[in-house]
Chain A
Amino acid sequence: MQFNFNSTEPIYLQVADQIEEAIFAQSFAEGEQVPSTTEISKEFHINPATVLKGMNILVDAQLIEKRRGVGMFVVPGAQAKIVEKRRNQFYDDYVKNLVSEARKLHITKQELAQLIERGFTTQ
């Protein structure tokens, strides 16, 4: 996990994002335990309440679950859920910006499509 404290995003959202990212990248596999509030809190000097707030976002989104007396575990199917969510957000998060920047640079629709094509073939 990596936290960027200069980021403009509130810390508890960053905590949620970072854990989500780790689940997405399968650093925390489904059914596995995620680091405890205290562990994250100690490692990054974040108030335990803040860490908990971030974790609770993921609990509410049913990506992780609390097992009493043990800790937090990645819910089976969590990664698929994240993929689904990110696909839904793809237009807002990436396409809009892409098009807006393209417009500023006077890149036409066809030119943009070609560039996307190129991106797919070279990677």
Chain B
Amino acid sequence: MSTKRWAVTRYILMEQLQLLWRAYAIILIAFVVLPLLFAILTGNLGHYSFTSTLTDLGIGVAFGFFISITMSLTYDNFKLLIQNGISRKTYWQARVISLIGLSFGMEIIATLYNFLVTAPARGHSGQAFLGSTLYSLYDHFLGSNLFVNILGYMVFNWLFFIGLGLTGMAVGSIFSLLTKFTRNIALIAIPVLGFFLLVFLSNSSLNQHSYNLDGLVNFLKFLMGYHANAQPGYFNPTVPMLTMIIGCVIMGGIAYYFNQKLKLKK
């Protein structure tokens, strides 16, 4: 890897790690310390279980939010990097590399935490814990070896994080090109349009005669790894993985396209 790309990757990674520990510190305070204080103040210490609050912490979920938000922050670092003679292309590459690396590291940490802390604390076996996650749709497909299934679960989550991050990057890059005015309009318009789309979809699914959505539903099922007569747990995880990889390529491409258009604002 070129020295510049490595330098930028390292810079972005360090910055993300700094934000990450702060984010987790905030989560810890909000979900562990504050309830504890509240319990002490209200005299309900008996109802407060330190272990259960700690073990219920969704490290992975928190990271999903974290990565999609931080990857969307684009313009500040663009300014810093272009000031320092770093091209847009290198900026994009460095962000993608640090996203892949950070997601990998965090997925390992989250998995270790889930299976070594949360599951035992809840008295769950590893397989039972898998059954309580989104991966429960696929947790028997690869056979009964727990480690293989956990590996599948990890790859699945890793790809999911990368997809979230790249989506954040794409949205962030587009927003960095907008003026403040258009950005505010977009921030209002998108949720409103999304709401109407939802209303429209739910109406049309009630009204099955006018719109036949079976094809779409089947396609979505297929993307999720459903195949003929498959029971939940026996869905094919490689199909959604492939779906996510394709999604990542598309989102990464969008992010790249708009990233290349970044320029100094007036």
Determine direct contact between A and B, CB below 8 Å. no
A residues neighboring B (CB under 8 Å): none
